[in-house]
Structure 1
Amino acid sequence: MTRDGTARTPGPGDARLGPQGGQQLSQNALRHNCRSDHWCRRLWKAGITAGGFLALCVLSQITGVWVLFVINGYGAFPAAHKVLDLMQYLLSPLGAEEMSQSLRKELWRMETLCPLLATLFLGIIILGIGVLYCLRTMSPGCFPAFPEDRRRSMSRQPSFTYSEWSDAREEDLFELEAVPETPVFDCFADTKAETDPVTLTVKQVGLQERRGSNVSLTLDMCTPGCTEPYGALLSPGEQSARDHLLKASNVLSAEQLRTRALDDAALQAEFFETPMNFADPKEYDYPGVVRKNRYKTLVPNPRSRVCLKATDRDDFLSTYINANYMRGYGGEEKVYIATQGPTVNTVSDFWRMVWQECSPVIVMLTNVEEKNEKCTEYWPEDGVTYDGIEISVTRLIRADDYRLRIFALKCDGEERSLRLYWYTSWPDQKTPDKAPPLLELVLEVEEVRLRAPPKSGPVIVHCSAGIGRTGCFIATTILCKQLKNEGVVDILKTMCQLRLDRGGMIQTPEQYQFVHHVLSLYEKKLSCSVEE
């Protein structure tokens, strides 16, 4: 590259630079050509933009003058003729002196000039906007971009104000935005063969992953996973992430919990330092598996994934469902199942899982649609049959923040009862507007689980992706039990435990903060109960 910025052609003297030097010169020349093409495209866009705004400005002026003539008594066509005469005068002022004098006299006889003034003002505004757009096209970095969809920002400060929960109805809790999916979350659809349930993939912490960004829900941000037993043949980064998830802990007393819940900066830093532990979609490289994932890069962690029973064990697709067993309080195995919101392709698989696992309760934490589809309406209005499982609704209860459907399930002569709690007050990748209703639901579901028949299986919890709202609900349930039994909570350790079972659980820092606030509320309720 020469001083004037042009690309220099490599000569014989450049041979001493070796292959790397020649490659560097080629890269510089290519970079210069790309920069030139980029500026040409900017100039072309600026020219098109300027022409468009200029045409819009002229059209607005012509329309305004025409309206002025119409208001002052001319018909539509005579007014248009007058406008044409005026344009002819403006385009050839030296050859139409007589016409100009008559037009000036006629304009001064107008009853009102307000439309003309308004037209001129509109033209000035259009020209001003056009100039700004052209400048922004030429140098986009000089002007701040307007904020995009709120799902792009996953680490904004919460908008709620924390109080002492004196009335147990704290409103205006914080608002978010990823991803994401989602998953975005959005988010914000997901994919490896796994027959050995003792395998787990732990990946190194990446930038998007640390931030809980919605981008991490839509990009392939995972490195190739490990198919060896849990902990074997891990890279240094993966080993570090695994050790962090196994050892991270921050035990909080009741007083420390109240203080910690107010420290937004510390909570966000703690959240960002914790690996997400997403599984690698390449681990599920089987035909047709991608159609069973709602989000492309969100797949179940292999070690703890739920395997559906199938007549043909070689048919991996029939055994696959995007769901993971989750440990509960004290590390108890298979207390919950975290899964994605069923899709049209997986409704039958979902009900097979419900029957296979003898689940007494389903908790749904998403609306069917939130800008786009978040979950298929997988339950019947009256009755339906999936793979020999007869499902019928026996009762519907409508509460302020959730709906409860009680189902009767029949299969092979056996009959069971199932409860579906549909919590509708929790927006995607946000936090609920009010904490007390969610806490009440958590406690009610736990009570129903404890009163379920002895052979009952895990509680199934899902939102859309099955990691954000689902992680908050399961973590809150575990931590409420810990706080009640031990008088302390370890929210960080609980989040790490969940992420070892299913990657990305508790998806955003705002959700992590919300869990602290819900636990603060529950601690206060426990204190009030003791005093009474």
Structure 2
Amino acid sequence: MEEHNKWTDAQEDLLDMDPVPQTPVFEMGTDTRTEGDAATLTVTPVGLQERRGSNVSLTLDMCTPGCTEPYGYGAQLSPRDQSAQEYLRQGTHTLTPAMLHTRAMDDQSLQAEFYETPMNFVDPKEYNYPGLVRKNRYKTILPNTHSRVILNSQDEDDFLTTYINANYLKGYGDEERAYIATQGPTVNTVGDFWRMVWQERSPIIVMITNLEEKNEKCAEYWPEDTVTHEGIEITVVSVTQEDDYSLRVFTLKCGGEERSLRQYWYTSWPDQKTPDKAPPLLELVQEVERAREEAPPSSGPIIVHCSAGIGRTGCFIATSILCKQLRTEGVVDILRTTCQLRLDRGGMIQTCEQYQFVHHVLSLYEKQVSHTAEE
């Protein structure tokens, strides 16, 4: 079973094999396969029942026109995207505790469910703005337009000054803007990142990546002691090292106002050698939950990022929502939550291993909850 307990980031690593990830060539009717088989495949429209995780469907998902919410003047979705949207709006599979424990061990069923669920990636053509390349860590991972975070700017007409690769996501019970999922800041976007933190009144940042894993995954966007970005003064108050994460507490000052910010940096993820990462993730989810409850009532969304802001970020946010659902309703709907997240940011929970992992984590959580109840 060990294979599937790792909270892996296979796809993110795949995107990262060379320092400047190449954009898939959408125009070609072939599938450049990454593993072994050099045979080319002709791209035909993929039915929902077929493997959506294959490179073919990934390429299709990312290049079909209009695969985000319709916006602008009556943008038409293709029938394929229409069905993908409907699938994401309707997908559901409620699991009782007993079903959850069984299903967490059923790799084949989980694979089938994962590959049937549309990714809902954005067509890069939706963002045809010169200079935007500098603002994205990966060319093909872009924020879905209808839910993207728009930065306040002196010049609202200058698209680049309003842009950040980040989306608002709903929380448990459709709570609006409970989270923001974003890419790991790059050298070019550190200022934008801090503008977002301040604008959104975020009390907490959850960072789930090392600064480097084979190559850069995230810029070190915080200071050793103090720094000013975009008129926001950021000062480190304390650094605490826990087993699986470090906690930094910052003071932010801007325009005479002062706020506190906590950054949970989960560092034990990429070390793939331990058999099971579920307990430390659960602990982090619960720790962040507690911190959120203690934050001022005026606080905004929790910001979560990894490198691309979809894989590990999706796992963390889904787990957080699902733990609440389990406590409140006594059941979980992991498929529903995944669909909900992908409607607002394509690709959330990026690999089948991650999807299985979320099931493992919830299964463990349910056992903890029922065990505590018995005592």
TM-score by length of 2: 0.87
Out of 323, 326, 345, the residue aligned to residue 166 of structure 2 is: 323
Out of 475, 478, 502, the residue aligned to residue 345 of structure 2 is: 502
Larger helix percent: 1
- State the AA in 2 paired with 1:377: E
SS in 1 for 2:63: coil
Rounded to whole Å, the distance in 1 between the matches of 2:199 and 2:292 is 17
2:81 corresponds in structure 1 to 238
Q: Indicate conservation of the 8 Å contact 1:295/1:465, yes or no.
A: yes
Deviation, structure 1 residue 407: 0.2
Out of 260, 284, 288, the residue aligned to residue 103 of structure 2 is: 260
SS in 1 for 2:360: helix
Out of 65, 76, 86, the residue aligned to residue 224 of structure 1 is: 65
Rounded to whole Å, the distance in 2 between the matches of 1:343 and 1:315 is 20
- State the AA in 2 paired with 1:320: Y
2:150 corresponds in structure 1 to 307
2:41 corresponds in structure 1 to none
The 5-angstrom pairing of residues 34-45 of structure 1 reads none
2:282 corresponds in structure 1 to 439
Structure with the bigger RCO (C-alpha within 8 Å, sep 6+) is 2
The 5-angstrom pairing of residues 404-419 of structure 1 reads 404-419=247-262
Rounded to whole Å, the distance in 2 between the matches of 1:413 and 1:296 is 38
Rounded to whole Å, the distance in 1 between the matches of 2:354 and 2:164 is 26
Out of 181, 199, 210, the residue aligned to residue 52 of structure 2 is: 210
Rounded to whole Å, the distance in 1 between the matches of 2:226 and 2:62 is 42
Q: Indicate conservation of the 8 Å contact 2:311/2:348, yes or no.
A: yes
- State the AA in 1 paired with 2:225: D
Distance 1:275 1:292, change over 3 A: same
Out of 232, 237, 241, the residue aligned to residue 398 of structure 1 is: 241
Tell me if 1:425 matches 2:268: yes
Deviation, structure 1 residue 184: 4.8
1:179 corresponds in structure 2 to 11
Q: Indicate conservation of the 8 Å contact 1:431/1:510, yes or no.
A: no
Instruction: Name stretches of at least 5 consecutive residues in structure 2 with no aligned partner.
Output: 24-44
Q: Write out per-residue CA displacement over residues 493-522 of structure 1, whole angstroms, 9 at most, x where no aligned residue.
A: 000000001000000000000000000110
Distance 1:189 1:215, change over 3 A: farther
Q: Indicate conservation of the 8 Å contact 1:342/1:375, yes or no.
A: yes
Rounded to whole Å, the distance in 2 between the matches of 1:220 and 1:257 is 29
Q: Write out per-residue CA displacement over residues 213-269 of structure 1, whole angstroms, 9 at most, x where no aligned residue.
A: 59959x994222268439962111111101100001000001110011010000000
SS in 1 for 2:299: coil
Q: Write out per-residue CA displacement over residues 439-481 of structure 1, whole angstroms, 9 at most, x where no aligned residue.
A: 0000110111122101100000000000000000000000000
Rounded to whole Å, the distance in 2 between the matches of 1:362 and 1:453 is 15
Deviation, structure 1 residue 526: 0.6
2:224 corresponds in structure 1 to 381
- State the AA in 1 paired with 2:117: T
Distance 1:205 1:308, change over 3 A: farther
Distance 1:250 1:232, change over 3 A: farther
Distance 1:279 1:431, change over 3 A: farther
Q: Indicate conservation of the 8 Å contact 1:210/1:272, yes or no.
A: yes
Rounded to whole Å, the distance in 2 between the matches of 1:497 and 1:340 is 19
- State the AA in 2 paired with 1:408: T
Count of aligned pairs between the two proteins = 351
SS in 2 for 1:449: helix
Q: Write out per-residue CA displacement over residues 4-45 of structure 1, whole angstroms, 9 at most, x where no aligned residue.
A: xxxxxxxxxxxxxxxxxxxxxxxxxxxxxxxxxxxxxxxxxx
1:294 corresponds in structure 2 to 137
1:522 corresponds in structure 2 to 365
Identity rate of aligned residues, in percent?
67
Deviation, structure 1 residue 331: 1.1
Rounded to whole Å, the distance in 2 between the matches of 1:467 and 1:182 is 14
- State the AA in 1 paired with 2:201: C
Q: Indicate conservation of the 8 Å contact 1:475/1:494, yes or no.
A: yes
Tell me if 1:371 matches 2:371: no
Q: Write out per-residue CA displacement over residues 182-234 of structure 1, whole angstroms, 9 at most, x where no aligned residue.
A: 545889678xxxxxxxxxxxx977999821659959x9942222684399621
Tell me if 1:332 matches 2:164: no
Q: Indicate conservation of the 8 Å contact 1:178/1:214, yes or no.
A: no
Aligned-residue RMSD, C-alpha: 2.8
SS in 2 for 1:417: strand
Deviation, structure 1 residue 160: 3.9
Rounded to whole Å, the distance in 2 between the matches of 1:253 and 1:304 is 31
SS in 2 for 1:251: coil
- State the AA in 2 paired with 1:305: R
SS in 2 for 1:489: coil
Rounded to whole Å, the distance in 1 between the matches of 2:254 and 2:7 is 44
2:39 corresponds in structure 1 to none
TM-score by length of 1: 0.62
Q: Indicate conservation of the 8 Å contact 1:358/1:456, yes or no.
A: yes
Rounded to whole Å, the distance in 2 between the matches of 1:349 and 1:463 is 16
- State the AA in 2 paired with 1:223: T
2:38 corresponds in structure 1 to none
Distance 1:303 1:204, change over 3 A: farther
Distance 1:432 1:359, change over 3 A: farther
**Could you say which structure has the larger radius of gyration?**
1
Rounded to whole Å, the distance in 1 between the matches of 2:55 and 2:12 is 6
Distance 1:348 1:325, change over 3 A: same
1:25 corresponds in structure 2 to none
SS in 2 for 1:179: helix
Q: Indicate conservation of the 8 Å contact 2:64/2:81, yes or no.
A: no
Q: Indicate conservation of the 8 Å contact 1:244/1:274, yes or no.
A: yes
- State the AA in 1 paired with 2:167: N
Distance 1:489 1:266, change over 3 A: same
- State the AA in 2 paired with 1:494: T
Rounded to whole Å, the distance in 1 between the matches of 2:213 and 2:178 is 29
Rounded to whole Å, the distance in 2 between the matches of 1:517 and 1:508 is 14
